[in-house]
């Protein structure tokens, strides 16, 4: 899943980015409010981690603009501000959760998973279709209860298709959520990756819809 990280402290941004990538997310980082507003208003992200104390435009102003323009991606707000009134303002503005600094990285990742699940209407960190189950907390995929070894890219692919189950996902969307903008890859890399996953999980698990994209149906055979 593609996540936008908005944090002007480069050290904190680097630490968060590493933790999220290790948890299977594709992370894009920006350091000021104007860039954050533009990215979030013109591109699709699975979630946003938003610091409030930003240069050029305050984080709450960014969030207000997103919500006013109908942008509904889940947003986890980070801030060093300790006032309960500011926290209430953030929630009322449209934040899905609020995490004060300093924080433990494990809690940040857990809260991010939680707001993503809630936005999709899922209560559990385990997603299952047919005989395939994916545990986001443990980053583990099983087939008929047997753990399947997947690379990070293979895991991202399966996770995004399972989150989008029942919907046809375009090749462009998959590229953005598996590789991101900054990872170089060949034009046929996605097809090769899908081929590897089919060998591990079954040839019928991922369906190709010619001219439209790929899907994991609601009920997999």
Compute the distance between CA of residue 187 and CA of residue 37 in angstroms, rounded to an integer.
30
Burial of residue 102 (CB within 10 Å: 0-12, 13-18, 19+) is exposed
**Looking at the predicted structure, is the pLDDT value of residue 198 above 70?**
yes
* Domains of the chain, first to last: 2-120 (3.40.50.2300), 126-215 (1.10.10.10)
pLDDT of residue 220: 42
pLDDT of residue 90: 74
**Looking at the predicted structure, is the pLDDT value of residue 85 above 80?**
no
Compute the distance between CA of residue 179 and CA of residue 175 in angstroms, rounded to an integer.
5
The mean pLDDT value for 58-81 works out to 93
- pTM (2 d.p.): 0.88
């Amino acid at each position: 899943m593609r996540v936008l990280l908005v944090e002007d402290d480069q050290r904190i941004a680097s630490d968060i980015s590493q933790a999220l990538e290790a948890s299977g997310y594709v992370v894009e980082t920006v350091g000021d409010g104007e860039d954050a507003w533009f990215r979030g208003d013109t591109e699709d992200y699975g979630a946003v981690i938003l610091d409030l104390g930003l240069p050029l435009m305050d984080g709450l102003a960014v969030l207000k603009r997103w919500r006013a323009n109908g942008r509904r991606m889940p947003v986890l707000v980070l801030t060093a501000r300790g006032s309960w009134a500011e926290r209430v303002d953030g929630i009322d503005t449209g934040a899905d959760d609020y995490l004060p600094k300093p924080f433990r990285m494990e809690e940040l990742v857990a809260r991010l998973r939680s707001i993503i699940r809630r936005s999709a209407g899922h209560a559990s960190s385990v997603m299952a279709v047919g005989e395939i189950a994916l545990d986001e907390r443990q980053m583990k995929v099983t087939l008929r209860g047997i753990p399947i070894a997947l690379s990070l890219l293979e895991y991202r692919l399966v996770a995004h298709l399972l989150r989008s189950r029942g919907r046809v996902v375009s090749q462009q969307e998959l590229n953005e959520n598996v590789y991101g903008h900054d990872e170089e890859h060949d034009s046929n890399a996605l097809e090769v990756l899908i081929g590897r996953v089919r060998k591990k999980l079954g040839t019928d698990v991922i369906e190709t819809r010619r001219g439209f994209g790929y899907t994991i149906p609601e009920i997999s055979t």
